[in-house]
Amino acid sequence: MIDFELSPRIKATKNMIHMFAEQALRPIARYYDENEHEKPWDLFKMVHKFMGGGMAGAFGASGKEEKAEKEGEPKEKKPRETNLAGAVTIEEIFWGDAGIALSFPGPGLGGAAVQASGTPEQKEKFLARFSGEEPVWGAMAITEPEAGSDTANIKTTAVLDGEEWVLNGEKIFVTSGKSALEYSKGFVVVWATVDRKAGRAGIKPFVVEHGTPGMQITKIEDKLGIRCSDTVSISFMDCRIPKDNILGSPEVVDKTKTEGFKKVMATFDATRPLVAAMAIGVGRAALDFIKETLKEKGVEIRYGINPNRMTVLEREIMQMEADLKAARLLTWRAVWMLDNGLRNDLQASMAKAKAGMAVTRITQKAVELMGPLGYSREYLLEKWMRDSKINDIFEGTGQIQLLITARRVLGFTREQLK
């Protein structure tokens, strides 16, 4: 039965998280934007304490969740709604502040990769730490100076030498890399090729622990937005890691046909709608701000009238509102499919494409419509415009999402539609 009503459990969580976002994140949002590379440690500790794996649940890769299953606690009989809960939670937190939310402790994308394709032993070994006393971060390193969305071009190498893999290369744009490797006892999942001639088939994920010799953070980026979040470059020089730290099989075969590859791709199917939810949270913040400002000034938005009678302001706001809602519904559909075990790669990309572009536009329009209030750093609108842009870039740019969507709609392979 078609239903858009959140379950009482998700609703309660949503309300709680909203209060937290409003009271704990909003007041410090500007500070951590203007003081890039500083971190709200007390907040992180509190988040870790009260939210367990933190964003973990949201990323579908909570160490705690794993543990609970192991101890044989009775599983809920109700249909799964983990991913939906994640999307709803993320929207609320990101409504509070995107930069701070993005730097919350937890397994992150690295943990999600372990969760998706690790063996039970690997999951125990790498994920248990997220339920410990201290906040811990996980990170993922894919991008290289010459390989962004074009992952087949990855040049970082992994060579097996006895009982160890030896990594060499340079990674950039690693979200929370410093938090994972220097601020906590975390790890980074590094994508490297075991056979450059094999192209994509040779690219494998490896877990590299904090403090591993041969791995070094070489740069912390200064960014347009999400400044509370650290984005780093990492260099690997004869960096040796245990043989068992490879996720999935080391065999070089056509990955598209292996279970391992499918599992990794499934990670994206899970994370893309969540990035869409991040975007939606920021977009909603901007829209809420405008609507509240107009309400204070006594400006009414006349929803029911015909477009030919609307003011430009009304038309814009309605379009922003509809766009935001459309993005949210596409996102909810993508996570609902995942929760119900349905293939959602198309819908996940659709949601990410729509949300990234819609919210980029919404926040830019919001700045425009509020005139000098929009441009002033006294308010957060200009910050939201800067913050939101990342959602159209990371986890696959808007253009990559369109490419994936088009391939699926047209039924074309990667070779047929480049």
What residues are annotated to the active site? 395
Strands (E) in 125-256, as ranges, are: 138-141, 157-161, 164-175, 187-193, 203-209, 215-220, 231-242
Q: What is the rounded distance in angstroms from the CA atom of residue 171 to the CA atom of residue 177?
A: 10
Residue 383, helix vs strand vs coil: helix
Q: What is the rounded distance in angstroms from the CA atom of residue 64 to the CA atom of residue 106?
A: 11
Nearer to another protein, 201 or 358 (CB): 358
Out of 307, 341, 371, 372, the residue judged to bind another protein by CB under 8 A:
307
Out of 302, 343, 377, 414, the residue judged to bind another protein by CB under 8 A:
302
Least Å distance, CB 213 to another protein, is 44
Out of 70, 218, 322, 377, the residue judged to bind another protein by CB under 8 A:
322
Out of 189, 353, 370, 385, the residue judged to bind another protein by CB under 8 A:
353
Least Å distance, CB 70 to another protein, is 27
Name residues contacting another protein, limited to 44-103 (CB under 8 A).
78-79, 81, 84
Helices (H), 74-171: 82-96, 98-102, 108-117, 120-127
Dig out the tokens for 1 from the structure: 């039965």
Q: What is the rounded distance in angstroms from the CA atom of residue 70 to the CA atom of residue 73?
A: 8
**Pick from 16, 2, 14, 5: which is nearest to 88 by CA?**
14
* Number of residues this chain uses to bind another protein (CB under 8 A): 50
Least Å distance, CB 336 to another protein, is 5
Instruction: Give every CB contact of residue 327 below 8 A, 6+ residues apart in sequence.
Output: 276, 279, 280, 283, 351, 354, 355, 358, 359
Name residues contacting another protein, limited to 95-134 (CB under 8 A).
none
280 in contact with another protein (CB under 8 A): no
Out of 119, 244, 354, 369, the residue judged to bind another protein by CB under 8 A:
354
The alpha carbon dihedral of 272, 23, 325, 359 has a sign of negative
329 in contact with another protein (CB under 8 A): yes
Interface residues with another protein (CB under 8 A) are 1-7, 78-79, 81, 84, 302-309, 318-319, 321-322, 325-327, 329-330, 332-333, 336-337, 340, 347, 350, 353-354, 399, 402-403, 405-407, 409-412, 416-418
